[in-house]
Structure 1
């Protein structure tokens, strides 16, 4: 399996357990690895034979603008399922980081992986 990666994708979303934390959008950072068979695209040099990376990023921005989440776990699962179902990925690994959310901590977050 081949891997498409999207690194340091910065998005705004409403995320957090306390209601006050979800009042204002905050920046989160996503690192995404998408498993896909790229052999056909390597031969054809055509976008239709791969996943349109720009479309994935745009779709993530739209969905995170439409939804709010309490847990980074739920947000990560939502994005994984979106990429698996809407873009036909074979697998997705995602790291969700909330930078600067706690004093003295660069960021916190999770990494999950889902296979179709």
Structure 2
């Protein structure tokens, strides 16, 4: 059996208020997300019809809106909310999300990664 076809969005910038200390949540931060959406069908079966696929521009916009909706303490929480949104609203058969935050000194970033669905 062939692996599912995927749509990837790399380094999507998300503006949000996030962090455990209240002072950290007070200012907006920019996180980066890599999103992989798995689809139920094959690209060949789409017949060049946008209605047969997942609109990645709509996905990017929706995730940016979701991230900005409210403050959160944990990037883990935001990643889980993003996955639920993609599975529910965009009917992906599966999703992988890596969410990165530049916060620790002497590191490029910290990241969480989750896989949901197929």
TM-score range, shorter chain: over 0.9
Query: Following TM superposition, by how much is the alpha carbon of 1:39 offset from its aligned partner in structure 2, in angstroms?
Result: 2.2
Does the 8 A contact of 2:5 with 2:43 survive in 1? no
The answer to whether the aligner puts 1:83 opposite 2:86 as a matched pair is yes
Aligned partner (choices 17, 34, 37) of residue 34 of structure 1: 37
The answer to whether the aligner puts 1:67 opposite 2:54 as a matched pair is no
TM-score (norm 2): 0.91
Question: In the superposition, relative to structure 1, how do residues 41 and 20 fare at CA in structure 2: closer, same or farther (>3 Å)?
Answer: farther
Q: Report what 1:23 is aligned to.
A: 26
Q: Distance in 2 between matches of 1:34 and 1:78?
A: 15
Structure 1: gaps spanning 5 or more residues: none
The number of equivalent residue pairs is 115
TM-score (norm 1): 0.93
List structure 1 runs of 4+ shifted beyond 3 angstroms.
40-43
Question: In the superposition, relative to structure 1, how do residues 51 and 103 fare at CA in structure 2: closer, same or farther (>3 Å)?
Answer: same
